[in-house]
Amino acid sequence: MASGGKTHSYADLLRASAGVAAALLDGEEDLREMRVASLIPAGLEYAAAQWGAWRAGGIAVPLSVAAPEPELRHVLADAGVGVTVVSRRLKDRIAPLCRRLGVRLVLIEEALDAEPGPLPRVSSERPALILYTSGTTSKPKGVVTTHANVEAQITSLAEAWEWRADDRIPLFLPLHHVHGIVNVLGCALWSGAFVDAFESFDLDRILERVGKRAYTVFMAVPTIYVRLIGALESAGADERRRWAEGFGSMRLMVSGSAALPASVHERWTTLTGQRLLERYGMTEIGMALSNPLHGERRPGAVGQALPRVEVRLTGESGEVIEGEDEPGEIQVRGPAVFREYWNQPGVTQASFVDGWFRTGDMAVLESGYYRILGRLSVDIIKSGGYKLSALEIEDTLRQHPAIEDCAVVGLDDATWGEIVAVAAVVGGGAELDLAGLQAWAGERLSGYKIPRRLEVVADFPRNAMGKVMKPAVRALFG
């Protein structure tokens, strides 16, 4: 792995994670599923904290390095975190919160060098990870996956995409979500491959390395492919040729986390000669559907079930759809499917039917390939590959002193997939403009949840029952 200007071996990672485990255990035999949060940018230290938590018998709860305080507070409190491992330079961001919540703080730089000690035996049925994901409830929920679940998610991809020890992949996706954690970091480390870690999506540096043919595998969300297309199209002839050849020479380039428009798929092939492999997944299940590594990669489609993943479609009254061309909800079963939502047995129970997880996504099977049609809930927005809850954003914006009520919707956008838009009813005489609202929201919500469009309205379009009609709210934005 390369990070922080250094290259680290697997032996380095093993040694560093043993130090972290010892620092976390602090003389105890086993953390016994204590939640271990981490606030660490991508790199050796992040991986050592994850492995250290696991080796000590803890549950890893990775935090977003870009989250504002209220979001960090929600995760620490909801997960009942006992200890947070943090990079020295991010310490000030979380130390006061940890103090208030009585959470122990450990500096990763010190933990790495701790003297390794005895480690507990951790069964694969114990929980490994809690990842926070937005849904149809206001606040994000903790998705609990066991070691066996994580292993199933990784090995399914390792097999389907033929991961190898001589693979080299750049890691620039956020490390509090499954795409970066499982598909990139997890699969690479499982396979003994080389990970080039970036602290964020650094377009220039990544293109420079692609031009030098540094990578064999590449994984990104559609927004990133749109940006890469823009960079290639505006580059001079030499650079454009170098980058295009770098991308064209990779053995595999994957897109996922949001719909890849067929036009982007085709444009990428024209520019680089590379056919993107689109797949479909979710925090709760890892990856479920994928176009084939060998065979037709169909633009606009997400292929077929991955190894050891069972997928079915069900109709409105719950009947299983057997044939093709009939849309239904995607349901998934298998060893990769998560165990539960943290502390939410009712929500967990409602998410399963006869042992099948209800994804809330609609799809149709056409000539052997699934095609995603959209989501059952209008209150879920996908922007830049992040899943957002309109309800969470509305709840936060309603705390704004000028906002009496609001309705949040996602608007189609060529770069971001969807952007967040808010229609707001403003209290008597108050002023509200987009820039001011964004500055206010930026202290309370992650950047990708901040509204990009604002319409001030007298009231919302409502149906006969008085319920806000979101499609009509969307139409207000033209």
Q: Which of 84, 153, 257, 291 binds ligand MLC (CB under 6 A)?
A: 257
- Contact residues for 85 (Cβ-Cβ < 8 A; gap 6+): 20, 24, 36, 37, 38, 39, 40, 49, 52, 53, 106, 107, 108, 111
User: Are the C-beta atoms of residues 355 and 172 closer than 8 Å to each other?
Assistant: no
> Which one-letter amino acid corresponds to residue 277?
L
Residue 416 contact partner, candidates ligand AMP, ligand MLC, none, CB within 5 to 8 A by sort of partner? ligand MLC
User: Which residue lies nearer to ligand MLC by CB, 82 or 174?
Assistant: 174
Task: Specify whether the CB–CB gap between 320 and 394 falls below 8 A.
Answer: no
Q: What, of ligand MLC, ligand AMP, none, does residue 259 touch, CB below 5 to 8 Å by kind?
A: ligand AMP
At 86, list the tokens: 């943090």
Residue 256's nearest CA partner among 187, 344, 354 is 187
CB of 27 to ligand MLC, least distance (A): 37
Closer Cβ to ligand AMP, 141 or 168, answer by number: 141
Interaction of residue 132 with ligand MLC, rule CB under 6 A: no
Nearest CA-CA partner of 139 in 347, 293, 314, 355 = 347
CB of 75 to ligand MLC, least distance (A): 15
Closest CA to 468 of 397, 361, 390, 416: 390
- The residue (of 85 and 144) whose beta carbon lies closer to ligand AMP is 144
Of the candidate residues 42, 60, 157, 282, the single one contacting ligand AMP (CB under 6 A)? 282
Encoded one letter per residue, x for contact with ligand AMP by CB under 6 A and - for no contact, window 155-194 reads ----------------------xx----------------
The nearest distance, CB 151 to ligand AMP, in angstroms, is 19
Q: Which residues of 461-477 are buried (b: 16+ CB within 10 A; e: fewer)?
A: beeeeeebebeebbeee
What token pair was written down for 448?
Answer: 């990708």
Among 146, 272, 283, 304, interactor with ligand AMP by CB under 6 A: 283
Q: Rounded CA gap, 291 and 301, in Å?
A: 8
Q: Least distance in Å: CB of 292 to ligand AMP? A: 15
From the list 17, 383, 389, 396, which residue makes contact with ligand MLC (rule: CB under 6 A)?
Answer: 383
Candidates 20, 23, 178, 250; binder of ligand MLC (CB under 6 A) is: 178
Confirm or reject binding of residue 133 to ligand AMP (CB under 6 A).
Answer: yes
| Residue pair 67/446 in contact by the 8 Å Cβ criterion | yes
Q: Which of the listed partners (ligand MLC, ligand AMP, none) does 52 bind, with a CB threshold of 5 to 8 Å by partner kind? A: none
Among 57, 62, 82, 281, binds ligand AMP (CB under 6 A): 281
Is residue 375 close enough to count as binding ligand AMP by CB under 6 A? yes
Q: Does residue 280 belong to the site contacting ligand AMP (CB under 6 A)? A: yes
- Which own/partner pairs from 189-192 qualify as long-range (CB within 8 Å, at least 24 positions apart)? 189/13, 189/47, 190/154, 190/155, 190/158, 190/163, 191/158, 191/163, 191/164, 191/165, 191/167, 192/10, 192/165
By the rule CB under 6 A, 290 interacts with ligand MLC: no
| Interior angle at CA 73, CA 69 and CA 75, nearest 5 | 125
Q: Name the binder of 333 from ligand AMP, ligand MLC, none, CB < 5-8 A by kind.
A: none
Q: How far is the CB of 257 from ligand AMP (least distance, A)?
A: 5
Stretch binding ligand MLC (CB under 6 A), from 232-240, 318-326, 369-377, 384-392: 384-392
Among 387, 400, 449, 474, binds ligand AMP (CB under 6 A): 387
According to CB under 6 A, which residues from 400 to 429 bind ligand MLC? 416, 419
Quick one: which of 50, 257, 383, 396 contacts ligand AMP (CB under 6 A)?
A: 257
Contacts 24+ apart (CB under 8 A), 263-270: 264/222, 264/225, 264/226, 264/229, 265/299, 265/300, 266/299, 267/229, 268/225, 268/228, 268/229
The residue type at 280: Y
Q: Is 359 in the site for ligand MLC (CB under 6 A)?
A: no
Residue closer to ligand MLC by CB (options 56, 311) is 311
Q: Which residue is nearest to ligand MLC (CB)?
A: 384
Residue 391 is a binding residue for ligand MLC (CB under 6 A): no
CB of 399 to ligand MLC, least distance (A): 21
Q: Tell me the residue type at 194.
A: F
Among the listed residues 8, 168, 177, 375, the single contact to ligand MLC using CB under 6 A:
177
Contact call for residues 187 and 163 (beta carbons, < 8 A): yes
| Interface residue list for ligand AMP (CB under 6 A) | 133, 177-178, 256-259, 278, 280-283, 302, 359, 361, 372, 375, 382, 387
Q: Given the rule CB under 6 A, which residues bind ligand MLC?
A: 173-174, 177-180, 200-201, 221, 223-224, 256-257, 281-283, 383-387, 416, 419, 447-448, 452
